[in-house]
Structure 1
């Protein structure tokens, strides 16, 4: 049986170690992908540090996959061996991305268009799915009409939206989806150094995140006379949730990426919902299938643009140091990417 290298988290809150495991075989509806690039996400270091989300060890982490199709499972159409693809992985040994070969679910796999590299493609899956679920899911989001469905593009023309953490990976995709949905103004809270880039994605206003709470609220409400009914907090610290919730109009919705700390009974019918971006969650299946169905075209046409990245040295061995940099907030507004084929 063919062997490969994989990065294992040995135990709950334990250490990472690279060792060998068998290359898996694709079942019905699956593809075997040789992973050329995988991106790191905050959830990866939180699993190690806090012991959350994963309860079976040793475990392989990683959700963002970009690589080449090596084998095609039964019943899969539209994919061929040798094709460049990106996919949203799943936190099981056979479907996570911190290894040299992984299985992907064909419905959450898309061809990489010729204008993108493996590195760029690897920055897309989890960030985009988390943004999309938060905006468009009726269960784990704000329940808006998705822009890939009939009548969805431009539907929210003239409505303002607040994106807290605009320069985060998720925030960048929220801004782009909000633009496709027609929102305006799109108000991003981020560091000033990211202003030009965020405006290129569709933000109309970028407010410096380093302000006092009252100044922030004044700056946000000063951008629009229309009520702000939707806020997406990609940071979701207690203080950011509080600011976003307090500027919401009556009956508005705050979407968070971490557990909510604000109380809905603080009045005015405002709601808060914690999103969860995995397309493998039953509540997200249909919604994310719609997004993945248009993803190759949208990436090709630049409707959705991947974010900035930095490639880590040392392949799988370099991932633990990358996770440390993210945890210590040293990643500097770029997505960290590892190359599992690099020995």
Structure 2
């Protein structure tokens, strides 16, 4: 069996390394692709600096784009030469930061005409997270295909997206707009407010304002003649101090709250290991009757319909139709794979990007 280069973490806070790992063959309904582009996520930092759910040495990354080079005998939709993108996480072979990825056909989408892989890799992990959160955690009905003149019964309920300019937040707003939800508000820095309004936010609030919780409640009360109630809050940040704590002041009995895991207790910094938790209640006081849950996107395959449709069909269809737009990209340059990986991790650690995704090349496309 041949080998290929992979970016691995060998221990919390230690420098990344390039290891030669085995290149498996595609079997059954598996597809092998040569990975060309990836987009870094906070999970990469949680695993590299915090050792979250890691058994070292572990290949990093979960969003990839590349060209199909081999298919298993049960593959029916994809062919060698197809340009694809997707989200995988279940095994070392599926991880993104390596020259070859081997995964199941249902975790891959064909790249629609008119889009680049650099754009496409900003979607899969966070689009899947957005859809999973809205359907499972919020219990919203997002029928696919969307019927003509679709009007959800709950379209007038108030929804708060905390961290609307995050990748997940942007996709949540766009999906809610497509399905007809009107009373959606979001928090983000002021630089992103105009864009988020085009994505469907009725109003935006600067999360850095000390009284942002009061501002949100006042706005909804005025819009609802004093009868406003937030039905669902999604926390796309998952920080105990900067998001969960102010959200706990807004959530009232009957509000459902979904929080992206892990909870960040202490941020990573140069020479400092982050503190992470999987408990959304620890260190926070909630009003009685507030339902709160941690979002675990990796379980979306438990829903057979989404396993079959979400990445192969729904994701590329909405991209092609312009319903969802790729996140802005900040291209991470570097002479070597290791240099690009380390630079991306450093930018995450130092919080050098806002409202965009760190995108970088794994391997050059082959002719």
Using the size of structure 2 for normalisation, the TM-score is 0.85
Contact 2:163 2:187 in 1 (8 A): yes
For residues 13-49 of structure 1, give each alpha carbon's deviation from its aligned partner in whole angstroms, at most 9, with x where no partner exists.
Answer: 5331123233221121211011111110000110111
For residues 124-181 of structure 1, give each alpha carbon's deviation from its aligned partner in whole angstroms, at most 9, with x where no partner exists.
Answer: 11111111111111xxx22221242666954132222100001111111111122123
Contact 2:162 2:236 in 1 (8 A): yes
2:138 to 135, 142, 148: 142
What is the deviation of 1:51? 1.1
Counterpart CA distance in 2 for 1:220 and 1:301 is 35
What is the count of residue pairs matched by the alignment?
Answer: 337
Seen in structure 2, the aligned counterparts of structure 1 residues 231 and 122 have a Cα distance that, compared at 3 Å, is same
Structure 1 stretch displaced more, 248-257 or 43-52: 248-257
1:255 has 2:258 as partner:
yes
Counterpart CA distance in 1 for 2:249 and 2:144 is 31
1:302 has 2:310 as partner:
no
Give secondary structure in 2 for the equivalent of 1:6.
strand
Give secondary structure in 1 for the equivalent of 2:92.
coil
Structure 1 unaligned segments of length 5 or more: list them. Answer: none
Contact 1:133 1:284 in 2 (8 A): no
Aligned position for 2:121: 122
Give secondary structure in 2 for the equivalent of 1:331.
coil
Structure 1 stretch displaced more, 150-159 or 329-338: 150-159
Contact 1:316 1:342 in 2 (8 A): no
For residues 91-131 of structure 1, give each alpha carbon's deviation from its aligned partner in whole angstroms, at most 9, with x where no partner exists.
Answer: 52211010111112211211110121000110111111111
1:333 has 2:329 as partner:
no
Aligned position for 1:230: 232
Contact 2:213 2:247 in 1 (8 A): no
Contact 1:257 1:274 in 2 (8 A): yes
1:51 has 2:51 as partner:
yes
Seen in structure 2, the aligned counterparts of structure 1 residues 262 and 14 have a Cα distance that, compared at 3 Å, is closer
Contact 1:61 1:91 in 2 (8 A): no
1:290 has 2:287 as partner:
no
What is the deviation of 1:219? 3.4
1:100 has 2:79 as partner:
no
Counterpart CA distance in 2 for 1:18 and 1:151 is 48
1:218 has 2:219 as partner:
no
Contact 2:155 2:183 in 1 (8 A): no
Give secondary structure in 2 for the equivalent of 1:26.
coil
What is the deviation of 1:77? 1.1
Mapping for residues 312-323 of structure 1, pairs under 5 Å:
312-314=332-334, 316-317=337-338, 318-323=340-345
Structure 2 unaligned segments of length 5 or more: list them. Answer: 262-277
Counterpart CA distance in 2 for 1:251 and 1:163 is 17
1:25 has 2:28 as partner:
no
Using the size of structure 1 for normalisation, the TM-score is 0.90
Counterpart CA distance in 2 for 1:80 and 1:109 is 12
Contact 1:32 1:69 in 2 (8 A): yes
Aligned position for 1:87: 86
Counterpart CA distance in 1 for 2:37 and 2:217 is 38
Structure 1 stretch displaced more, 174-183 or 299-308: 174-183
Contact 1:37 1:65 in 2 (8 A): yes
Counterpart CA distance in 2 for 1:165 and 1:44 is 19
Counterpart CA distance in 2 for 1:219 and 1:142 is 20
